[in-house]
A and B are shown apart, each in its own frame.
Chain A
Amino acid sequence: DTGVSQDPRHKITKRGQNVTFRCDPISEHNRLYWYRQTLGQGPEFLTYFQNEAQLEKSRLLSDRFSAERPKGSFSTLEIQRTEQGDSAMYLCASSSTGTGGRYYGYTFGSGTRLTVV
């Protein structure tokens, strides 16, 4: 397994355009997470899935953001009508759950850096 893959690595888009990012988690991991990181800040939680079910979505996330994990494998994060404030690194992570829901920390991808101009 090659770890968590994210595509693209970099995306430059004009304000108002839609963008979509893809994440391929470690194949045996049932949980997949999306985080956003801006300069000088720690990762901020956006949403997470267990298999194909989206279990939690940040209240800070506007309706312009949507995520899917249709077959419980890869996931996509779409941002509609992008704004300059959306410029950030978008990180995907995956984990497996053990007995009683215990997990062992995240494996992160290298991220997608979005620049909105």
Chain B
Amino acid sequence: AQSVTQPDIHITVSEGASLELRCNYSYGATPYLFWYVQSPGQGLQLLLKYFSGDTLVQGIKGFEAEFKRSQSSFNLRKPSVHWSDAAEYFCAVGATNAGKSTFGDGTTLTVKP
């Protein structure tokens, strides 16, 4: 069975500060890993994805994530947060046959001016 844990329900950072959102997964094989962002009243938007190869992946809006197999983690990072990054962030693990993805319960990001 696949599962995702996002340990931080809510994170507050100051604008311009760095950000790291944590994600731990459980999956029996090589996982597909994703980060999505959801703004209020909107659907989810794909930020980045990992399938294989380079463990540091770049995404949209200046985000990156690092896959660490030994730690079963896929943490999301951004060097300098903008006020527009305030949203809810979801980590997901997917089956390699394009079946269902399992999502974490999300981390809400608040950005202080």
Contacts and interface: CB of A to CB of B under 8 A. Distances in A.
B90 A43 contact: yes
Contacts of A56: 99-100
A22 B12 CA distance: 37
A33 B100 contact: yes
A104 B49 contact: yes
B46 A110 contact: no
A42 B106 contact: yes
A93 B105 CA distance: 18
Interface residues of B, number: 26
Nearest to A30: B98
Interface in A52-110: 55-56, 91, 93, 95, 97, 101-110
A45 B92 CA distance: 12
A111 B97 CA distance: 25
A97 B103 CA distance: 20
B46 A105 contact: yes
A97 B32 CA distance: 13
Nearest to B34: A105
Interface residues of A, number: 29
B100 A101 contact: no
B105 A41 contact: yes
B43 interface: yes
A45 B94 CA distance: 11
What 6 A-B pairs come out closest when comparing CB atoms? A42-B103, A108-B43, A103-B98, A45-B100, A105-B46, A108-B44
Interface of A: 4, 31, 33, 35, 40-45, 48, 50, 55-56, 91, 93, 95, 97, 101-111
21 contacts: A41-B105, A42-B105, A48-B100, A50-B98, A55-B99, A56-B99, A91-B44, A95-B98, A102-B51, A102-B96, A102-B98, A103-B94, A104-B49, A105-B46, A105-B49, A106-B34, A106-B46, A107-B46, A108-B44, A108-B45, A110-B42
Given A31-B98, A103-B94, 18 more contacts: A33-B100, A42-B4, A42-B90, A42-B103, A43-B44, A50-B98, A56-B100, A91-B44, A93-B44, A95-B98, A104-B49, A105-B94, A107-B46, A108-B43, A108-B44, A108-B45, A109-B43, A110-B41
